[in-house]
């Protein structure tokens, strides 16, 4: 087993199992399966998002100390380094910003990519009908596929040549596997689009598929702009940091590239994820305002200070 195959097995089998579970629950609706998966991932990462929200709110309280640093250091490089050291000391870094959230999402994208681009292995688990069946079908389907439109994975083209493969392979392609694959292929879609189609490869023949990358880009840009506006409202200086530039410029174009170069299922997931992120930020803005967060910080600091004073008094006695 190669290294990349091992990595995909680690990440893609769990996501393939989840997609198949949701697919079954929602009566073979893969679009709903991907949407529910995106919601589930958001819920799992919710504690990280709440910590990020609180961290951004706390920057408003630290503004006075940042201004002192700026007054102390006139050299721009020394000033920037001192501010970065201050943020590090206070627990601020890329993992508490949008770029950190993006890094956390990458294993999800890798797992989802493998599950959608190799669905017979990770979602349908077709090898349960016969050892090496997926490899057998992948080899047999090569003669039906244009080399310019394929990659080293042949599982998606198999879905378009099931009957031909049955005729070619005979008993090597069991009837149980044939029936399961036929039913699977009929539902492996999002409206008019096949989940495994790559917009960058098929847009000449399917013009409407361009809407997937456009929606993914627009949703990510909306989320990034709102995040920048929110950060400026909380703290003008914080919003000028390089990490916020990463949030504004990198994520939308990353979304565009992912949804253009990867299967449609990835683009749909990324667009849904961006919309959920936008909704989540609005809700968290209402629940964790800077005033509420700062008030809680002051209470916590007071409790810590009193605990330390009590320990000192007891030690003196």
pLDDT at residue 287 tops 90? no
| Residues contacting residue 249 through CB under 8 Å, at least 6 positions apart | 224
| Residues contacting residue 96 through CB under 8 Å, at least 6 positions apart | 51, 52, 55, 56
Of residues 271, 123, 268, the one with CA closest to residue 193: 268
Q: Are 62 and 90 in contact (CB under 8 A)?
A: yes
Domain coordinates of the chain in residue numbers? 3-308
- Assign 3-class secondary structure to 278-303: HHHHHHHHHHCCHHHHHHHHHHHHHH
- Alpha carbon distance 315, 309 (integer Å): 10
pLDDT tens digit sequence for 65-118: 777 887 888 787 888 888 777 777 665 554 555 555 566 667 877 887 788 788
- Alpha carbon distance 284, 54 (integer Å): 9
pTM for the whole structure: 0.75
pLDDT at residue 300 tops 80? no
pLDDT for position 258: 85
Q: Are 270 and 124 in contact (CB under 8 A)?
A: no
Lowest mean pLDDT segment, chosen from 87-91, 142-146, 154-158, 177-181: 87-91
Query: φ, ψ for residue 92 (rounded to 5)?
Result: -100, 140
Per-residue pLDDT, averaged over 200-226, amounts to 90
Confidence of residue 239 (pLDDT cuts 50, 70, 90): very low
| Residues contacting residue 99 through CB under 8 Å, at least 6 positions apart | 243, 246, 247, 250
Confidence of residue 307 (pLDDT cuts 50, 70, 90): confident
- Alpha carbon distance 123, 141 (integer Å): 19
- Alpha carbon distance 129, 173 (integer Å): 9
Per-residue pLDDT, averaged over 232-256, amounts to 67
| Residues contacting residue 59 through CB under 8 Å, at least 6 positions apart | 92, 234, 235, 238
Place of tokens 């501010």: 83
- Alpha carbon distance 201, 207 (integer Å): 11
- The 3-state DSSP class for residue 190 equals strand
Per-residue pLDDT, averaged over 256-276, amounts to 89
Percent of the chain clearing pLDDT 90 (strictly above): 26
- Alpha carbon distance 250, 254 (integer Å): 6
- Alpha carbon distance 239, 227 (integer Å): 9
- Alpha carbon distance 302, 306 (integer Å): 6
pLDDT tens digit sequence for 12-66: 899 899 999 999 999 999 899 989 998 998 898 888 888 777 776 666 667 667 7
């Amino acid at each position: 087993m190669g290294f990349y195959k091992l990595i995909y097995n680690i990440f893609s089998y769990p996501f393939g199992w989840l997609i198949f579970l949701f697919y079954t629950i929602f009566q073979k609706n893969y679009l709903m399966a991907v949407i529910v998966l995106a919601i589930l991932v958001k819920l799992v990462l919710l504690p990280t998002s709440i910590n990020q929200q609180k961290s951004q709110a706390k920057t408003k309280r630290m503004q006075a100390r940042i201004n002192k640093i700026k007054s102390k250091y006139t050299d721009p490089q020394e000033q920037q380094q001192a501010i970065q050291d201050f943020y590090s000391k206070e627990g601020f870094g890329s993992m508490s910003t949008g770029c950190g959230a993006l890094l956390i999402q990458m294993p999800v994208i890798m797992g989802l990519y493998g599950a959608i681009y190799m669905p017979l292995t990770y979602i349908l688990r077709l090898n349960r009908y016969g050892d090496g069946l997926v490899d057998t079908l992948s080899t047999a389907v090569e003669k039906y596929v244009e080399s310019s439109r394929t990659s080293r994975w042949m599982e998606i083209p198999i879905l378009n040549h099931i009957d031909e493969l049955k005729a070619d392979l005979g008993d090597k392609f069991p009837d149980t596997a044939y029936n399961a694959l036929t039913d699977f292929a009929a539902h492996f879609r999002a409206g008019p689009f096949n989940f495994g189609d790559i917009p960058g490869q098929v847009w000449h023949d399917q013009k409407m598929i361009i809407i997937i990358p456009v929606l993914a880009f627009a949703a990510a840009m909306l989320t990034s702009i709102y995040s920048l506006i929110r950060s400026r409202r909380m703290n003008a200086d914080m919003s000028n940091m390089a990490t916020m530039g990463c949030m504004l410029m990198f994520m939308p174009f990353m979304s565009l590239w992912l949804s253009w170069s990867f299967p449609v299922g990835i683009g749909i997931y990324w667009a849904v994820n961006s919309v959920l992120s936008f909704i989540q930020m609005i809700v968290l803005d209402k629940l964790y305002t800077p005033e509420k967060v700062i008030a809680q910080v002051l209470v916590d600091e007071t409790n810590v200070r009193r605990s330390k004073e009590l320990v000192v008094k007891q030690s003196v006695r």
